[in-house]
Amino acid sequence: MSTHRRFVLAERPVMRAPRPSDFRIEEGPLPEPKAGEVLMRTVFLSLDPYMRGRISAVKSYAKSVEPGETMVGEAVGEVVASQAEGFRPGDLVRGHIGWQTHGILPAAQARRIVPAGFPLSYYLGVLGMPGRTAYFALLDIGQPKPGETVLVSAASGAVGQLVGQIAKIKGARAVGIAGGPDKIAYCREIGFDAAFDYKGKDDEALVKAVAETCPDGVDVYFDNVGGIIHDAAMANLNLRGRVIICGTISGYNRLEQPDIGRRHLRVMLVKRARMQGFLVGDYAARDAEFEADMPAWLKDGRIRYREDVVEGFERTPEAFAGLLEGRNFGKLVVRVGADPA
Amino acid sequence: MSTHRRFVLAERPVMRAPRPSDFRIEEGPLPEPKAGEVLMRTVFLSLDPYMRGRISAVKSYAKSVEPGETMVGEAVGEVVASQAEGFRPGDLVRGHIGWQTHGILPAAQARRIVPAGFPLSYYLGVLGMPGRTAYFALLDIGQPKPGETVLVSAASGAVGQLVGQIAKIKGARAVGIAGGPDKIAYCREIGFDAAFDYKGKDDEALVKAVAETCPDGVDVYFDNVGGIIHDAAMANLNLRGRVIICGTISGYNRLEQPDIGRRHLRVMLVKRARMQGFLVGDYAARDAEFEADMPAWLKDGRIRYREDVVEGFERTPEAFAGLLEGRNFGKLVVRVGADPA
């Protein structure tokens, strides 16, 4: 494994779903770290919905990937060469090296993983960005109180499955929305009080399904999807309800066009609701809170966690396309290399 | 003046602007207070946009007025007969007696006005509900910081004119949106840093006008109107912007239909914005904060205040119809009777 492979953006998908052919593999010799840098070998690569925004030219919170550039993303792996003080070959790290089999990281951007008995891939999920997203967005913006109802969309996904379980830990009722009977069964298995399948449901049926699964209304809606599922949640929102805008995946293939649909300004007013956008990077300074809770919850079984592991670096583009169609079941990661010895 | 007159709802306007003929005047003998009640003679009656919602059958935060029932609203006046301990004829009070020349108030619902040198009508505006709305919504939800930009729609209205001036007191930059050159001139006169006329502007022109008057973007948008002015504000929202949903007057004549338009979920996420609905009744427990600030600001000239006084009870329905078309200039009140001696 001495060649370096990476995926670059070949073509920007505009107003359509991404296809595997939108990415192109490039090969070359292994890069060499300069002073202050490490070379990391990828073990797992994370695939996440936010990446769809990065290959769009629409202005967002981060720079777009240009055709010809390496596709962005976070990975976990081991240091194989180091020119940085404090890092040695064999050290476990995570970092934003993109879709690559190996990547150079400045020491300041290499986040060390201290082995604690968890699979390495967990640091891309429940112990990584999606875990922090579920934790801080639900607790800081959603602020669920015991007995309240927390509704979450994409409920079996990387973030959603954790949102439901954290809601339960905090004494709230958790209700999930997901696509297909297996995902619904999984939500129930990990402790959601109710869950329903959005597939095949029109606007009215969605409103009814939320009403049936949330008989006391929705106090916190954790929105990963936008679209008509958002509308169904808003139609059932309680007085002083909180709406967390964490993702809008239903519209990710048409970011170039305005999102036209029902507006809920009147609901916001009548219900004195609060809606807030969330980005996990804003919570870096509060990381100790997450570190104090999540590994312990995971260890004692209060949090269960499901991953969808795709084998083989070359399948990354195909797995990414599937993610945007909801074909994954649980947090999607790609196994790129063997676990460290 | 010994007959009692009141307006009842004659016909519910559905999917159209209200017309004077939607209300019918009814006359009768003066009502008499029972034990624990006072009879109040109306001096000024308040007309406010929220009243449009009350004559719609659409479910809201308060019960709808039914045809044949007295139209709701707040008034100031004097007690002319009392069967309640602590109230005597001549006492000044405000209360929700509706569109009537005289009204019965249980003592618990009669709010005493202690004369402090202000016109009685002010207790329906700057020292009443609209004043508290501007104060609590801007300070508690908007939380403007020195140097930030506060944008407000319906900026010469009862609430808007105060929002701009409170923003200035707090060290923010105030920008107003209003309809017509006179209202724009008034905004500048009372201290807004900039203002523009929304009339005749389409979606794109509105976005551009906000960008031009808010060159550093919008930190707080105080929304009284909804619609495409809301869109223009959202298009210029800054990172961690706050959006106060206080009114949606642009849609008040079609509450029966879904409000279809641009959704801003992506803006909310990318900007980590916060949007919150406001209703003044939620702040009753914090009234001392308002009382400590607003009368003093008004006295020392830091707050200026413009009213639009319509003379004559019988013109109430016509004035109300005009309010929904933006024909008033400043806080709209109806003079129903003479000031107390």
Task: Tell me how many degrees the CA angle A45-A123-A150 measures, rounded to the nearest 5.
Answer: 110
Distance CA B229, CA B218 (A): 13
Token pair of A40, please?
């990391």
* Average predicted confidence (pLDDT) for chain B: 97
> Would the CB atoms of B266 and A258 count as touching at under 8 Å?
no
Q: Which residues on neighbouring strands pair with residue B150, listed in sequence order?
A: B174, B220
Best of A275, A278, A282, A283 to substitute, by most chain B Cβ atoms within 10 angstroms, is A275
**pLDDT of amino acid B151:** 98
Decide if A271 contacts A241 (C-beta within 8 A): yes
Residue in B with minimal Cα distance to A257:
B262
CATH superfamily of the domain spanning B3-125+306-335: Medium-chain alcohol dehydrogenases, catalytic domain (3.90.180.10)
CATH class of A129-281: alpha beta
* Average pLDDT along chain B, 341 residues, taken 10 residues at a time: 90 96 97 97 97 94 95 98 97 98 97 95 98 98 98 98 98 98 98 98 98 98 97 98 96 93 96 98 97 98 98 98 96 97 83
pLDDT for A60 equals 87
* Cβ neighbours of B277 in A, within 8 Å: 267-274
Say what the pLDDT of residue B341 is: 83
pLDDT of residue A86: 94
The residue in chain B having the minimum alpha-carbon distance to the alpha carbon of residue A238 is: B61
Question: Which residues of B sit within 8 Å Cβ distance of A?
Answer: 60-61, 223, 226, 230, 245-248, 251, 255, 258-279, 282
pLDDT digits (tens, 9 = 90+) for B34-54: 999 999 999 999 999 999 999
B90 three-state secondary structure: coil
Residue B78 has what pLDDT? 97
Which residues of chain A lie closer than 8 angstroms to B268, CB-CB?
A: 245, 275-277
Exposed/middle/buried for residue A208 (C-beta within 10 Å: 0-12, 13-18, 19+):
middle
What is the spatial distance between Cα B65 and Cα B8, in angstroms, rounded to a whole number? 9
Q: Do A277 and B282 touch (CB under 8 A)?
A: no
Element (H or E) spanning B130, and its range? helix B129-136
For residue A56, is pLDDT > 80? yes
B195 neighbors B153 (Cβ within 8 angstroms): no
Structure tokens at B281: 């009744």
Per DSSP bridges, beta strands B307-311 and A307-311 are unpaired
For chain A, the domains span 3-125+306-335, 129-281
Interface test with A, best of B204, B269, B274 (most A CBs within 10 A): B269
The pTM of the full predicted model, rounded to 2 decimals, is 0.96
Q: Which residues of B touch A223 (CB under 8 A)?
A: 265
Among partner residues A255, A265, A271, which is closest to B248 by beta-carbon distance?
A: A265
Look at A278 and B272 and tell me if their CB atoms are within 8 Å. yes
pLDDT in tens, A89-145: 999 999 999 999 999 999 999 999 999 999 999 999 999 999 999 999 999 999 999
Instruction: Give dist(CA A94, CA A38) in Å, integer.
Output: 12
Interface test mutation site (partner A, options B58, B231, B245, B252, max chain A beta carbons within 10 A): B245
Dihedral (CA of A142, A145, A146, A147) sign: negative
Scanning every residue of chain B, which has its alpha carbon at the shortest distance from the alpha carbon of A239?
A: B61
- Verify whether the Cβ–Cβ distance A272 to B272 is below 8 Å: no
Q: CA of B172, closest CA in chain A: separation in Å? A: 23
- Residue A117, judged by CB atoms within 10 A of its CB (0-12, 13-18, 19+), counts as exposed
Kindly determine whether residue A268 and residue B277, on different chains, have CB atoms separated by under 8 Å. Answer: yes
Distance of CA A31 to the CA centre of its chain: 29
Name the closest residue on chain A to residue B238, using Cα atoms.
A61
Smallest CA–CA distance, residue B219 to chain A, in Å, is: 14
Q: Which of A263, A271, A274, A283 to mutate to test the interface with B (most CBs of B within 10 A)?
A: A263
Residue B9 burial class via C-beta count within 10 angstroms: exposed 0-12, middle 13-18, buried 19 and up: buried
Report the percent of chain A where pLDDT is more than 70: 99
Whether the Cβ atoms of residue A25 and residue A7 lie closer than 8 Å to each other: yes
Distance CA B48, CA B70 (A): 16
Strand A37-46 to A75-82 pairing: antiparallel
Contacts of A228 in chain B (CB under 8 A): none
A261 contacts in chain B (CB < 8 Å): 260, 263
pLDDT in tens, A72-104: 999 999 999 999 999 999 999 999 999 999 999
Query: Using one digit for the tens of pLDDT, what is the confidence trace for A206-242?
Result: 999 999 999 999 999 999 999 999 999 999 999 999 9
- For the segment B79-118, what is each residue's pLDDT rounded down to a tens digit? 999 999 999 999 999 999 999 999 999 999 999 999 999 9
Confidence of residue A341 (pLDDT cuts 50, 70, 90): confident
Beta bridge partners of A331: A307
- The pLDDT value recorded for residue B61 is 86
